[in-house]
Amino acid sequence: MKMRLEQREKSSPWLNLTLPLAAIAATLVLCGGLIALAGANVIEAYTVLFASALDSKFNLVETLVKAAPLVLTGLAVAVAFRAKFWNIGAEGQFLLGAMAAVFVGTQEALPTWSLVPLMIVCGFLAGGLWAVLPAILKTRFKVDDVVTTLLLNFIIFYAMMALLDGPWKDPLSGYPDSPDILMEAEYPILLHATRLHLGVLLAAVAAVAVWWMMRFTTLGFAIRAVGENPRAAAYAGHNITRVVILTALISGGLAGLAGVGEAAGLHFQVMAGISTGYGYTGIVIAMLARLNPLGVVPSAIFFSIIITGAEAMSRATGVPVFLADVIQGTALMTMLIALLFTSYRLRVSLSDG
């Protein structure tokens, strides 16, 4: 028996929906092997994982709260990748967004009503401008954006740690934490007695806004055109540099907004662990959503379930929490493999030919 990949004449639309589901199924089967290796019952472990994330109002809200930053970083990556601006730097843009928000949120001189709007604007701009830097390097000097965006993550992380260990350290804390933001700077809570904050709503609004922008504005049109065929776009009069830089600003801004949400809605300060790799998970989420802004929402919720459910699963079955990370990584790989089948089909022939 021989297998061979052949190019498809056209991709069928139903694949767009079934491929991510198939990738998730394959991921769960593969990771089931690891659960069995850890000595637990696979069905039971998965049941606990999904049930614990969804079985009560409290858990459901927690899943949504966890999904909010993932939606935003997923959108950040989806927008950037559409223009073939390979932004691996959502993590750093997230951190800068959080830092800008906390900086604004601790200013007592500002009128209290202006704090939240200013934090949102400044967080967006901080993340956005941090992404514009590699975009300029890419368009002006042809510096590889994968490398620059990735390395900028480390620069901003260690710069942040230096600040938290030095000038920006909260004198009342024994840890490298920043001072807390003012009460008035906290995101309002949307549902009484839960942690459902304004950031969750903003993430949902952002998903719709980005979808609308990509589909119904000339900028969205230009982003897709530049991503698919920069030469044709340039010949048609689109300014590639401008489009890539605007894309970077929006992409970084969305990641920055995720950072604002975590700072203003949950932690009220900046500390070392403010991001648990949201920027990197955003890449997996965007790929699973096939870069569709609306698809980012279910995709982010799926990963939020995995991340929140993994703890309960670990407590109930003894499978290490790290399984959540393994699932993320496996999902990225299965999805990348699945994407191959949008443009190719597998031909199996029984002869030796």
Partner 1 sequence: MNENTPILALRGICKSFGPVHANKDIDLTLQKGDILGLLGENGAGKTTLMNVLFGTYTADAGQIEIDGKPVNITNSAAAIAHGVGMVHQHFHLVASHSVIENLMVGQKSKGGMLDRAGAEARLAKIGEEYDLKLAPDTLVSELTIGEQQRLEIIKALFRGARILILDEPTAVLTPQEAEGLFKAMRALVKRGMGVIFISHKLYEVREITNHMMIMRQGVVTATLDNTPDLTDRQLGELMCGHELTPPEKPATEVGRVLLKLTNITAGGTPDRPVLKGVSLEVRAGEILGLAGVSGNGQSQLAEVIAGVLPPFSGEMEIDGDVLTRPTVKQVKARGIGRVPEDRMGTGLITTLPLSDSMVLPRVGQPPFSRFGILNRGAIRDFVTKQVERFRIKTAGVDVRTGTLSGGNLQKALLARELAFDPLVLLVAQPTRGIDVGAGEFVHREFLDLRARGRGLLVISEDLEELFTLSDRIAVIYEGRIIDVIPVAEATAQNIGLLMAGFQEDAA
The binding site for partner 1 (CB under 8 A) comprises 2, 4, 9-10, 215-222, 224-225, 228-229, 231-238, 352-353
Q: Toward partner 1, which CB reaches closer, 97 or 220?
A: 220
Closer CB to partner 1, 70 or 287, in the complex: 287
**Nearest of 127, 93, 122 to residue 106 by alpha carbon:** 122
Q: What's the min distance (Å) between Cβ of 339 and partner 1?
A: 14
CB 86, min distance to partner 1, A: 18
CA 53 – CA 134 distance, rounded (Å): 38
Strand partners, 271: 177
Q: Closest separation between CB of residue 232 and partner 1, Å?
A: 5
Cβ neighbours of residue 220 closer than 8 Å, sequence gap 6 or more: 213, 214
Amino acid at 296: V
Measured CA distances, 165 to 147, 181, 272 (Å): 28, 18, 10
Q: Is 345 helix (H, G, I), strand (E, B) or coil?
A: strand
| CB closer to partner 1, 9 vs 108 | 9
Of 270 and 289, CB closest to partner 1 = 289
The residue among 24, 61, 209, 151 whose CA lies nearest residue 32 is 24
Q: Give me the least distance between CB of 73 and partner 1, in Å please.
A: 25
What 8-state DSSP symbol labels residue 125?
H
| Closest by Cα among 224, 226, 200 to 138 | 226
Of 10 and 192, the one with the shorter C-beta distance to partner 1 is 10
Q: How far is the CB of 141 from partner 1 (least distance, A)?
A: 19
Please spell the DSSP secondary structure of 132-192, one letter per residue.
Answer: HHHHHHHHHH---HHHHHHHHHHHHHHHHHHHHHTTT--TT-SSSBPPPPPGGGSPPBSST
* Cα gap 97→256, rounded to integer Å: 4
Closest CB 8 distance from partner 1, rounded Å: 9
- Assigned token pair, 73: 């970083």
As a whole number of angstroms, the distance between CA 120 and CA 126 comes to 10
Query: For residue 128, which phi and psi values (nearest 5 degrees)?
Result: -65, -45
Which CB, 5 or 162, lies closer to partner 1? 5
- Tell me the closest approach of the beta carbon of residue 219 to partner 1, in angstroms: 6
Task: Between 221 and 341, name the residue whose CB sits nearer to partner 1.
Answer: 221
Nearest CB to partner 1, comparing residues 108 and 352? 352
Between residues 113 and 235, which has the closer beta carbon with respect to partner 1? 235
Least Å from the CB of residue 2 to partner 1: 8
User: In angstroms, what is the minimal distance from the CB of 243 to partner 1?
Assistant: 12
188 vs 191: CA distance, rounded Å: 9
